[in-house]
């Protein structure tokens, strides 16, 4: 039964696969916000 659950979750043999994917997604989003926020604010000021 354990094998069926792992196949359904798509863990690819690594128990923390889903959590590490979400952690990397969060890390990328935060870095993107930090790197692009000034450019975004500048674009908004030019638009107004």
Q: How many CA atoms lie within 13 A of 31 on its CB side?
A: 6
Q: Both tokens of residue 41?
A: 């604010």
Tell me the residue range of the domain where 22 lies.
16-48
pLDDT at 34: 96
Inside any domain, residue 8: no
Q: What is the pLDDT of residues 3-24, one digit of tens each?
A: 666 666 666 777 788 899 999 9
Inside any domain, residue 21: yes
pLDDT exceeds cutoff 70 at 2: no
Count: domains in the chain: 1
pTM comes to: 0.63
Inside any domain, residue 9: no
Other beta carbons within 10 Å of 39: 9
What letters, b where the CB count within 10 A reaches 16 and e where it falls short, cover 5-23?
eeeeeeeeeeeeeeeeeee
């Amino acid at each position: 039964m354990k094998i069926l659950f792992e196949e359904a979750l798509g863990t690819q043999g690594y128990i923390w696969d889903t959590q590490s994917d979400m952690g990397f997604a969060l890390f990328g989003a935060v870095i993107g916000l930090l790197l692009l926020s000034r450019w975004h604010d500048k674009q908004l000021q030019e638009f107004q």
